[in-house]
A and B are shown apart, each in its own frame.
Chain A
Amino acid sequence: MSQSESNGKPKVAFFDFTSCEGCQLNKLNFENELLDILELVDIVEFREAMDDKAEEYDIAFIEGSISTPTCIERIYDIRRRAKVLVALGQCAVSGGINAMKNAMPMEEVQETVYGNDKYLFPSIPAMPVSAVVKVDYEVRGCPMSPPEYLHVLKSLILGRKPEIKDYAVCVECKLKENECVLEKGMFCLGPITRAGCDAICPSNGQYCTGCRGPVSNINKNGAVEMLKRYGFSTEEALKRMKMFNTNELEKEIKWGKE
């Protein structure tokens, strides 16, 4: 990667759009690595911990989804000034949990929250960053996985392409020798969700909610059939698959809608 002239360190910036800012805080939590990272890069923009600003970036990390007209203006401006742009966390990668509202009429969403005052507050569907500008790399998860983020950052500093996992959470879950969550009688999206989280939720007695989005080659009909076999209706299966993945499912996956 080409580097800024000032001190030879790449300029790295972080921006947040509509999100819970958990990914951003996850980065403040790398205390051990933080000082090492600061040796290698110049962090030029990071609102939650700093007050200062800069003009252009070697790497721009984008957190959150695009959900207002101003978001669109801002992301164009950032893309114009960024050599490499990375979507950080599921809101930026796919729209994430915010996109749940896309499955409903926008007016209804506004009305539920603001009643008769709904027209005072304009809103657009929650979109992934890639719906508006070119995204070079992705770090998935809700919140984004810290080791994966470090891997992407290190790779970019070294000038190579980061490797991203593309197999199911089930693989990682099996390696941990967990009892199958579906066999326990709970719902689980492990079979179709992209690995990389180290199967945290099933390992802690919970079920997979699909927060890293589907693997790229899921067997769509097979997934619904499997969940039906475990006693979940098509309707429930689809509803729960959409928790983090409304945009993907609405876009490519039409099963269950015939």
Chain B
Amino acid sequence: MGQKIIIDPITRLEGHGKIAIFLNNKGNVDRAYFQVPELRGFEKFAEGRPAEDMPQITSRICGVCPTAHHIASTKALDDLYKVDPPPTAKKIRELIYSTFMVEDHALHFFFLGGPDFVLGPNAPKAVRNILGVLQKVGLETGKKVIAMRRELRELITEMGGKVIHPVLGLPGGVSKKMTEEVQQRFVKVGKDAVEFALFSLKLFEDVVLSDSSYVDIITSDAYTHRTYYMGLVDENNHVNFYDGQIRVVDPEGNEYAKFKPQEYLNMVAEHVEPWTYVKFPFLKNIGWKGFADGKDSGIYSVAPLARLNAADGMATPKAQEYYLKYFETLGGKPVHFTLANHWARLIELLYAAERIVELAGDPEITGDTIRILPDKTPREGIGVVEAPRGTLFHHYQTDERGVITKANLVVATQNNAARIAMSVDKAAKSLIKEGHYDDGILNQIEMAFRAYDPCHACATHAFPGEMPLVIEIFNQNGRKVTQINR
């Protein structure tokens, strides 16, 4: 008799998710669905509001990456009012943004995704958390991680007022100057962050890469998908989180497109499926061909794995070394292994840390001109950043008073949604055989999406409901036989 497995709520991710696994009469997986069961409707309730409220409203989409929404929204306002912020303001924004990236990537590796690797995917679930990680790596190391994140957050608070839902960005600039004292603190923290990033990469190499059983999991077919990859790049085609052009490479690693954020609607369209609240974006000119990978399917991926694939290198020296090592170890570009996201994330962490040091050392950052007042009549604005979880688009249209008439948000996890759905389906099919599944196997299925660090608060930026992860198992008649709550 067939069965259906549902994993709901999914743990250790931001936002809520549900996995439904349908088994056939042999007990093998017929289809696994990864669902996001809630809708909030931010795009709708933005309508009729002053555009300048948007950096405040949209940061509330997500408590994990409020800074990403805040900055993307602020950049959309720059574009809306056709105002180019002064260099000091841009640098302050990018500095805060880099600090946020270090903090967020560290959160994911040590608190959310890391426990699967540091403790092993089959460890009992009571220890598979940050406390377990602390035990395994030692309390001293744990304290280091904790102290690091705390310092980073204090500095974001210093400039942004709050670390969650910061209030730094204004159209045309930022709201607060940087004093030399704060600048010096950034220089110090930046250096510590570089050390911390190198330490994290070493931990990854020692615990994960030196263990062939982990490497086998990472490179196994269950966690592999050949899709297009998207990421923001600077003028040298290096990874950039704050600004630049969007580059897309095909599954062979060749450049498929490079375009300005303002052109995204020519490149990307969205597809709706009846079983989830997430909309699935795809490359418009290739088309939606269902949940399939390969060059003929318009499905693309974002986030660390994709960003490294979509770029030609990293803009800072140490990160570049690791960039080369990463592709050498994993068999050249592009890397299609979903779980390699964890390693790529740490390389990005190093880049962001080095970028903090660069920006904080720039004398211009303490300049007095932090804002140019907008004086043009607003009409339409688009802002893009690389959120920790991938490319994030904010697009607003307004009337001549700057009151929003239409808003469209294409969010990082949404850009990844189709690939995540495929990953969960494939992992389930590969791991559940003849009706056999246990906690370890179910956790390995969860690992398939946790690697993306998905954020469903963002992906639905939309509302009703709650949604941690539940796994439900259904038989071939659609009757629920098991439910496992996480």
Contacts and interface: CB of A to CB of B under 8 A. Distances in A.
A18 B464 contact: yes
Given A29-B163, A49-B111, A240-B53, A21 B43 contact: no
Interface string B13-25: 1111000000000
A240 B50 contact: yes
Interface stretch (A64-72, A130-138, A169-177, A221-229): A64-72
A243 B57 contact: yes
Given A20-B60, A28-B111, A53-B485, A101 B45 contact: yes
Interface stretch (A117-125, A160-168, A212-220): A117-125
A70 B147 CA distance: 39
Interface residues of A, number: 64
Contacts of A108: 44
A134 B9 CA distance: 25
Contacts of A239: 48-50
B63 A68 contact: no
Contacts of A206: 56, 161, 167, 170, 175
Interface in A89-104: 96-98, 100-101, 103-104
Q: Which of A68, A206, A243 has the most CB of B within 10 A?
A: A206
Contacts of B429: none
Contacts of B170: 205-206
B163 A112 contact: no
Given A204-B161, A206-B175, A20 B486 contact: no
Contact of B146 (A31, A47, A49, A120): A31
Contact of A21 (B15, B47, B56): B15
Nearest to B175: A205
Nearest to B128: A51
Contact of A18 (B11, B38, B279, B486): B38
A17 interface: yes
Given A113-B43, A203-B161, A243-B56, A236 B64 contact: no
Contacts of B57: 97, 100, 243
B261 interface: no
Nearest to B11: A51
B457 A142 contact: no
B40 interface: yes
Contacts of A121: 39, 277, 464
A16 B64 CA distance: 14
Contacts of A143: 63, 162, 164-165
Given A101-B45, A206-B175, A51 B465 contact: no
Q: Which of A48, A96, A143 has the most CB of B within 10 A?
A: A48
A67 B463 contact: yes
B353 interface: no
A74 interface: yes
A115 interface: yes
B66 interface: yes
Nearest to A35: B146
A23 B63 contact: yes
Contact of B11 (A32, A47, A243): A47
A67 B464 contact: yes
Nearest to B408: A112
B62 A20 contact: yes
A16 B466 contact: yes
B359 interface: no
B462 interface: yes
A155 interface: no
Interface in A188-222: 200-201, 203-206, 209, 211
Contact of B465 (A24, A50, A68, A142): A68
Contacts of A113: 39, 41, 43-44, 279, 462
B466 A17 contact: yes
A19 B53 contact: no
B60 A97 contact: yes
A47 B463 contact: no
A126 interface: yes
B40 A98 contact: yes
Interface string A48-85: 11111100000000001001101100100000000000
21 contacts: A17-B465, A20-B60, A20-B62, A21-B62, A23-B63, A26-B164, A28-B111, A29-B149, A47-B9, A48-B11, A48-B13, A51-B12, A67-B465, A68-B464, A74-B466, A97-B60, A100-B57, A101-B40, A113-B41, A114-B279, A203-B161
The 8 closest A-B pairs by CB, nearest first: A22-B63, A205-B175, A68-B465, A204-B161, A100-B45, A51-B125, A68-B464, A67-B464
Interface of A: 16-26, 28-29, 31-32, 47-53, 64, 67-68, 70-71, 74, 96-98, 100-101, 103-104, 108-110, 112-115, 117, 120-124, 126, 142-143, 187, 200-201, 203-206, 209, 211, 236, 239-240, 243
